[in-house]
Chains A and B, each alone.
Chain A
Amino acid sequence: MNAPRHEAPNWRALVQARLSLASIERITDDAAHDEDIVEELAQHLAQRFEDHVARGIPRPQALDLALAELAEPATLARALRDSARPRRIAPVPPIVGGKPSMWNDFVQDLRYGARVLMRSRGFATAAVLTLAIGIGATTAIFSVVNAVLLQPAPFREMDRLTMVWETDRNTGTNREPASLPDIIDFKERSRQFTALAAFAAAERTITTPGGEPTRVPILFSSHELIPLLGITPSRGRSFTSAEDAVGGPRVALISDRLWDRQFQRTPDIVGKTIRLNDVETTIIGVVPAAADFGTMQILRAAAYGRGFADRDLRSRVDIWLPIQGDPRVLVRDTHPLLVLGRLAPGATVATAQEELTKITADLEAAYPSNVARGAFIEPLSDVIFSRVRGTLWVLLAAVGFVLLIACVNVANLLLARGTARLREVAVRTAMGAPLRRLVRQFAAENLVLTAAATVLGVAIALVALRGLVSLAPADIPRITDIRIDGLVLAVAIGLAVTTGLAFGIVPAIQARRVDLQGALKADDSRGATAGRERSLLRSTLVVSEIALAVVLMVGAGLLVKSAWRLSQVDTGYRSDGVVKAEFQLPASRYPAVGAQWPNFVEMHRFNDELLTRVAGIPGVSASAIVGNHPVDPGSQNSWRVVGREAEGQNWPEVSIRRVSVGYFETVELPVRSGRAFRDGDGSADQPVSIINETIARRFFEGREPVGQQIRLWGAARTIVGVVKDERINGLAREAPPAIYLPFRQAPSFNGAEALLVRASGGVSALGASLRAAVRQIDPQLAVFGVQPLSATVGASVAQQRFVTLLLLAFAGVALILAAIGIHGVLSYTVVQRRHELGIRVALGATPERVTSLVLGQGARLTAAGLVIGVLAALALTRVLATQLYGVSTTDVTAFAAALPVLAAVALLATWLPARRAVRLDPLEAMRD
């Protein structure tokens, strides 16, 4: 070596030379990085060399010693290459962390997660299914809440809109329509409203040349209505005040739906005509589909004058006609019009109420027909949403409970599985996997799990929604608009991510508490410490699961009992076996001239002929024509008893029931005294009436009503009979006082009638026969609402039934999930304790003893859950109060029914693992 000894060697060059000896051109893919590595190694060698020299080693030897650290070129090359490309050779699972590519790591995590889940299919299936049910049910209910409650109203400043109801102190009703003269006075005198609009529901038959006549719901509306709501016609314009005046032109606004259905969206729709009840009417505009928003709820809230709302809850308004009201015809004591107002700037519901109270008081003093009548101002949004708001939130809360139970179950599954995977966690931690990395990988697994559950959950929601919408009571606003939109999807995904994150914590807690030595010992199940803590957590989860199930079951129990009570209600009439069909005789062919009333010849002739034809249909045992069927409250009127006029001043109005001969037989309504109507009660005969038991009880206490006279509709009508009460205001409401009049003596001016037929045999065949019978007499008449009367009755309790069915379903799912939870935990416990149980069996413990050990644990968990659940239910079922009929929210039977069911299911879920414990082979168990 002739190199100058005092000069420092070029270490970089030496390192480079060694590397090229090993034919390493590149260590990494990055030249700059390679430079750094060479520099770092060179510095090391330089310092080593200096140290050797400082310790007195001669420079040449020191150089050799230092260079020896680079080892054999091949070894060095391999070592550096391996370390420089750690990720490519990283073993699966990917426990190596690092910055360069989070994304690649993440994708790898996901892939690994999916593989892990595929390996344990049983676990994955159970977890995904459980979560999907929870997410699906919640998504479905939330999409209902979203569509019904959360979407903005189609009206401008809806919070300024109020209903202006009239009230009647005599009947105690506070949501009555108003009279036209009252409305005119309101408009003139009120300063608290910028505008008041009137409307009334009706129906019309559309006839097209060569087409089937169709029946459509219409709204008579004052010219103020559409502008007041803030709705702009998409074509044409809305009514002018001239068009709304008496004798105005025959004009109509049609809905977007009708434009589409009947006119195929023809652009020149304005100016076209449409035949309504045989009257040519000119279309002046098209309004958006949402223009009838809330109409159904307003009509349903009204004490009477509900029009089509009582017939078909899915009705949508297709035509608007001007009222063209004549105060000489629509006099003060007839109340056909609903009133909507827009509050003036600065006005509130309270100030408007104050003002209207004063105005109605003045009217009461001025007109005898306004006695006892007041006003009630109610925000429109209350009218539209109040019936449904509570129900939907209750359902959302209930389904949230189901989701919670599902989450608890999956958490439980994960806990049990996590315990089984303790060894894996321990090994990987020992191998140097940082906690963050482990958590991330568990999170990736959960992400795969929740992603699968979300996809399945949304699919479940789609199917469930279809069922929900068809099952839902149709008077839920916007029920037909329900769909899974962006918000709903976002919520579903949010739910999934939240639950996924919640589970992410589970393995994280475990990983943090992993006791490496314990876990690494051969026996993973018993050796792991923190097991007691985990089993406590698991027990807590099971207890809360049972408690949640108790709440849902008690709620469902209350509703079922309420539904049962409703089904047991004595309606008075019998709907089974009765079929209903409705029609309206148009004034063009069935003139209803006031001067001829009640002898409307054409109308009576049609009715007689129809009843004769129907009586000839095989299987028909009785039939009748009525103004209102038994589920239709119809209209009310004031009345007096002849000779007791003064006394009757403060009597409430009574419901008027117009029925033909044969009605009482058709609906099997018992006649308590006197007689039913007969053929002799004709238009020209002595006016007669029949009262119900409520009238007899309340107004003829201690007197014989039969033979007395009632003054009603301008005639003294002799009471010829008393019939049993009919619940005409709905199953849940007591029968109101009602007076029955023979149809021939009190036909309806608007020609609206219902045919009721009692027959043996199929409904569908009978319906066709009824339509045929009508068509034979009048081929142009539209027949609608053909259905069994029992279906009509059922529809009237649709909301209760809907809530009941849903809560029952939720409670059922909760019960199953809770059972799975108990079973899972106890099965796991049996596995965990098999060593101990095996010793017990070997030492002579009887099967009974072993069984009771396991059962005892299950029983303790169940009992705790039941107690907590009962307490929670007592606190929570109060929200159901408005849904219940004849049942208190703390009804003992509902609680008493829920508890044994849950206890029994819990026992079964406990018994299965207990049996497994008994069947343990002690030798095998102890060897484990």
Chain B
Amino acid sequence: MAKPALTSEMKKGSAELLILAILEDGQRHGYEVARQIEHRSRGAISFHVASLYPMLYRLEAKGLIEGRWVEKAGQRRRRYYRLTSEGAEVLAAQRSLWQEFFVGINRVARLRTT
């Protein structure tokens, strides 16, 4: 790994935002969620089974996402997750919160974005 991994604390804090953001585009199963996060962060952020699924279950229990088993012809049944309307609202709120946070951090620490 070329880039240093984010600490687990930072990952925990942002996991909800990331998962909700991934599901914003449509329903995905757990592995796809993990792949998308790795892909979009260009490998900077990755989730393991032990961290991803508990988070998915928690979000589902909060009513922000909804998981259901889908059986497609000729395939094994898989569990797909999609964003609920509450999830969409919370995502919007989280986005602006993080935006604010990020701008603040940037002003202080003068980060450079690529």
Interface residues of A (CB under 8 A from B): 36-37, 40-41, 43-45, 47-48, 68-71, 75-76, 79-80, 82-84, 86-87, 95-99, 429-430, 432-437, 516-517, 520
Contact = CB atoms under 8 A, between A and B. Distances in A.
B100 A86 contact: no
Given A434-B86, A434-B89, A517-B100, A83 B54 contact: yes
B50 A75 contact: yes
A233 to B, nearest CB: 67
B49 A41 contact: yes
Given A97-B86, A516-B97, A86 B62 contact: yes
Given A44-B31, A86-B58, A516 B96 contact: yes
A430 B93 contact: yes
Interface pairs A-B: 10 shortest CB-CB: A434-B86, A71-B50, A83-B54, A97-B63, A86-B61, A83-B57, A69-B48, A79-B54, A69-B49, A76-B50
Contact of B53 (A40, A432, A516, A520): A40
Contacts of A83: 53-58, 61
Contact of B97 (A48, A75, A87, A430): A430
Nearest to A47: B31
Nearest to A73: B50
Contacts of A95: 62
Contacts of A435: 86, 89
A96 B60 CA distance: 10
Interface of B: 16, 29-31, 34, 48-58, 61-64, 69, 76, 78-79, 84, 86-87, 89-90, 93-94, 96-97, 100
B93 A98 contact: no
A811 to B, nearest CB: 46
Contacts of B64: 432, 434
A499 B87 CA distance: 31
A82 B96 CA distance: 28
A861 to B, nearest CB: 35
B100 A437 contact: no
A86 to B, nearest CB: 4
Nearest to A521: B100
A87 B48 contact: no
Contacts of B61: 83, 86-87, 96, 98
Given A41-B53, A43-B78, A517-B96, A432 B90 contact: yes
A119 to B, nearest CB: 25
A764 to B, nearest CB: 74
14 contacts: A36-B69, A36-B79, A37-B53, A71-B50, A71-B51, A83-B56, A83-B61, A87-B61, A97-B86, A98-B62, A429-B90, A430-B93, A432-B62, A435-B89
Nearest to A75: B50
Contacts of B100: 517
Instruction: Please indicate which of the listed interface residues B16, B53, B78 has the most CB atoms of chain A within 10 Å of its own CB.
Output: B53
Contact of A437 (B58, B63, B79): B63
Nearest to A100: B61
A44 B86 contact: no
Given A44-B31, A96-B62, A517 B53 contact: no
A502 B57 CA distance: 36
A45 B97 contact: no
Given A86-B62, A96-B62, A516 B57 contact: no
A43 B76 contact: yes
Contacts of B52: 44
B63 A43 contact: no
B63 A44 contact: no
Nearest to A87: B61
Nearest to B66: A99
Nearest to B87: A434
Given A40-B30, A86-B58, A432 B16 contact: yes
A528 to B, nearest CB: 15
Interface of A is mostly: helix
Contacts of B97: 430, 516-517, 520
Given A69-B49, A71-B48, A437 B54 contact: no
B93 to A, nearest CB: 5
B90 A70 contact: no
Contact of B49 (A45, A87, A434, A437): A45
A95 B58 CA distance: 12
Contacts, number: 100
Contact of A44 (B30, B69, B76): B30
A79 B50 contact: yes
Contacts of B79: 36, 40
B62 A97 contact: yes
Given A43-B78, A80-B57, A517-B97, 7 more contacts: A45-B49, A69-B49, A70-B48, A82-B58, A97-B63, A98-B62, A516-B97
A45 B30 CA distance: 11
Contacts of B48: 68-71
A66 to B, nearest CB: 9
A72 to B, nearest CB: 8
A434 B30 contact: no
B86 A86 contact: no
Contacts of A434: 62-64, 84, 86-87, 89-90
A83 B86 CA distance: 19
Given A43-B78, A96-B61, A430 B94 contact: yes
A80 B96 contact: no
A45 B50 CA distance: 11
A915 to B, nearest CB: 40
A661 to B, nearest CB: 93
B106 to A, nearest CB: 15
Nearest to B78: A43
B49 A44 contact: yes
A82 B54 contact: yes
Contacts of A429: 90, 93
A67 to B, nearest CB: 9
Instruction: Please indicate which of the listed interface residues A82, A433, A520 has the most CB atoms of chain B within 10 Å of its own CB.
Output: A433
Contacts of A82: 54, 58
A79 B93 contact: no
Contacts of B62: 86, 95-98, 432, 434
B39 to A, nearest CB: 12
Contacts of B63: 96-99, 434, 437
A75 B93 CA distance: 30
A516 B96 CA distance: 8
A68 B50 CA distance: 9
B90 to A, nearest CB: 5
A80 B61 CA distance: 13
A115 to B, nearest CB: 22
Nearest to A97: B63
A80 B90 contact: no
Nearest to A68: B48
A368 B70 CA distance: 102
Contacts of A98: 61-63
A47 B38 CA distance: 15
Contacts of B54: 79-80, 82-83
B19 to A, nearest CB: 11
Contacts of B93: 429-430, 516
B57 A86 contact: yes
B52 to A, nearest CB: 8
Given A429-B93, A434-B86, A516-B96, A48 B31 contact: yes
B89 A43 contact: no
Nearest to B16: A432
B87 to A, nearest CB: 8
A48 B29 CA distance: 13
A432 B64 CA distance: 8
Contacts of A516: 93, 96-97
A84 B86 CA distance: 20
A884 to B, nearest CB: 57
A500 B58 CA distance: 32
Nearest to B20: A432
A76 B61 CA distance: 18
Contacts of A37: 53
Instruction: Please indicate which of the listed interface residues A44, A45, A82, A98 has the most CB atoms of chain B within 10 Å of its own CB.
Output: A44
